[in-house]
Structure 1
Amino acid sequence: MSQDSEPSVCNIFKDNSSKIINKLEMQIPSHFQIYSDMYKEYLHMLDDVFGTCIISEKEFFDKINADENSMKHIKSFSDSMTDFWIKQIENYDNYLKWYYQMRISGMKSYDQFVHIMMNSYSKTLSNFTKSLED
């Protein structure tokens, strides 16, 4: 509690909620790092699965002697699917950016609303207190 303020229920709740919020804010960098590291490991694992698959299936594909035209079609299909997924990743990234902006805007609007309501509430309490004094 700040020394220049009088002890009150509001000050106690404000100070304690600030302690909790500060503790959560301090953990944000480590939480992001943890999730980032897990996600990167997941992606590397998927990449390794395909690498292992290539090694395992190379002998099989070498024996079937796929002609060059078939390989061009397979490559074209694979390239199309890759382009599709890259677009999906970009779309999702754009969606997350939009979603972030929308949520931040909503939180700021709500914060303004709460301030207006608290000012109104304070005025009502003040008027009520004055009426009790009369």
Structure 2
Amino acid sequence: MLKSEPQEKADVRHSLSVCDVMRDNTNEVIMKIEGLLPSYIENFADLQEESLRIARDFFGTCYIAEKEFLDNMGVDQKAIETFDKCFKIITKTTLSEIDMMSSFQKTLVKNTMSAMKSYDDYVKLALSSYAKMLEYVTTMTKT
């Protein structure tokens, strides 16, 4: 009785190109970063919210602790009014600077997006020319 010899398993693999490797691995990294964006934004918003809450609580606590003390000191009302006017100027300036910074950030993002679009258009044009050159070289080497 002859034992049947095991058949060799055919090694069926699809052909893998350098471009496949680069594309697939790059996409994996990009997808990981994209997946983390909402978390980054939420974490930063939580951090900002907490720092503002702490600042608000600090001044609220100072208000409660110092109001009676300062009221009993008998500070001249005109001095307090002058302090209020000065503080309102500082507040108005700060609010204006916040608005300017917000506008600057919007403009920065808009300009960066425009530059990225220009770069993307240039890369697509360069890749199109590169593909045409490769096609030409391929046809020349076959003849």
TM-score (norm 1): 0.87
Aligned to 1:125: 134
1:109 to 113, 118, 121: 118
**Cross-structure match for 2:29:** 20
Separation in 2, partners of 1:63, 1:101: 54
Q: Distance in 1 between matches of 2:102 and 2:17?
A: 46
Counterparts of 1:50-129 in structure 2, within 5 Å, are 50-129=59-138
Cα distance in structure 2, aligned partners of 1:64 and 1:81 = 25
Corresponding letter in the other structure for 2:110: Q
Higher helix share: 1
> How far is the alpha carbon of 1:86 from its aligned partner?
0.6
Q: How many Å separate the matches in 1 of 2:65 and 2:87?
A: 19
Q: Distance in 2 between matches of 1:51 and 1:77?
A: 20
Greater Rg over alpha carbons, structure: 2
Code of the aligned partner of 2:41: F
TM-aligned CA deviation for residue 59 of structure 1:
4.3
2:5 paired residue number = none
Give deviations 1:62-99, integer Å, cap 9, x for gaps: 34311211111111111111111111111100011100
Q: Partner amino acid for 2:48?
A: Y
- Two-structure CA RMSD over aligned residues (Å): 1.8
Consecutive unaligned residues of structure 1, counting only runs of 5 or more, are: none
Count of residue pairs brought into register by the alignment: 130
Instruction: Give the drift of 1:30.
Output: 1.2
Aligned residue identity for 2:136: N
Percentage of identical aligned residues: 31
For residues 40 and 25 of structure 1, the distance between their equivalents in structure 2, rounded to whole angstroms, comes to 24
| Distance in 1, Cα, partners of 2:83 & 2:90 | 11
- Unaligned stretches of 5+ in structure 2? 1-13
